[in-house]
Amino acid sequence: MFAKEGADVALVARTQAKLAAVAKNIEALGRKALVIQADLSKEADTATVVPKTVEHFGKLDVLVNNAGISPAGSLTEGTVLQAYDEVMKTNVRAVIQLTSFAAPYLAKTKGNVVNISSVVALRPCKNPELLPYFVSKAALDHFARCAAVELASSGVRVNTVKPGPVDNDFNSNNSLGDPKVIRQTLIDATLQGFIATNEEIGGVILFLASDKARSITGCNYVMDNGWTMVSHE
């Protein structure tokens, strides 16, 4: 979607095949794609992302922090700390690290950051095994607000998109059960009776990253098909 609007894009993920497929689509639109294979749970990998991007493109306009994992762990089973440490490395620490590295370059371009959080940050966790994930997204939300305050004097905006259920492979790869059952459960939990698409979420990210949103910073955009308005007892 960014490439369609004329952007060159650095792509960061663990899976080479997926990176290559997206890069091919971007190049088919006449834009440049830089593939960076990295595991953002590893500090050394994360540290390479911004330098490689700036070296290749000469600047940085937008940072989209989208990587996220959801390991299971609960208080009563004694697995919460292991899951917490794992999820925080990717969902929060990597975001802070990338934003810190990106900030000087974004200040030069008057660019911005868009963080991908989740509506689970707004409600207590009903499934005990998802507690670490819920906590990580709440932490991410507050980091974004604090970062917006600190970076405002540099002309850098920081905003957050909070999806509810989305029809993508984050849910289909979930280790908590049958993907079809999980998908239907997510649909049933919404007010509208359907869940968002990647393109719908991407459209809001693109808006927040654009000059059309120049007056928006420190904000959380909820896109959840009414999930937060339905009782989940």
Q: Residue 63: which CATH number? A: 3.40.50.720
pLDDT of residue 174: 52
With pLDDT > 70 as the criterion, what percentage of the chain qualifies?
A: 95
17 lies in the same domain as 47: no
23 lies in the same domain as 4: yes
25 lies in the same domain as 96: no
Is residue 174 domain-resident? Answer: no
Is residue 195 domain-resident? Answer: no
**Is residue 162 predicted with pLDDT exceeding 80?**
yes
68 lies in the same domain as 25: no
Residue 128: pLDDT band with limits 50, 70, 90: confident
Is residue 53 domain-resident? Answer: yes
63 lies in the same domain as 155: yes
Of the candidates 137, 4, 158, the residue with the CA atom closest to the CA atom of residue 67:
137
User: Does residue 133 have an active-site annotation?
Assistant: yes
Is residue 155 domain-resident? Answer: yes
14 lies in the same domain as 89: no
**CA 17 – CA 140 distance, rounded (Å):** 28
Largest CA distance in the chain: 53
**CA 108 – CA 14 distance, rounded (Å):** 29
Report the first-to-last Cα separation within the chain, whole angstroms: 37
- Return the bridge partners of 33, or none: 9
Is residue 180 domain-resident? Answer: no
Is residue 56 domain-resident? Answer: yes
51: which 2 tokens? 């330098």
pLDDT of residue 171: 61
**CA 30 – CA 141 distance, rounded (Å):** 35
160 lies in the same domain as 50: yes
- Return the bridge partners of 112, or none: 62, 157
54 lies in the same domain as 158: yes
Please tell me the total count of domains within the chain: 2
What pLDDT digit, counting tens, does each position of 14-44 carry? 999 999 999 999 999 999 999 999 999 999 9
**Is residue 175 predicted with pLDDT exceeding 60?**
no
Catalytic member of 84, 105, 133, 221: 133
145: which 2 tokens? 């607000």
**CA 86 – CA 39 distance, rounded (Å):** 12
Domain that holds residue 54: 41-166+203-222
pLDDT of residue 57: 98
State mean pLDDT over 150-158. 98
Name the least confident of 62-71, 90-99, 106-115, 180-189.
180-189
Is residue 109 domain-resident? Answer: yes
State mean pLDDT over 170-198. 73
pTM (two decimals): 0.90
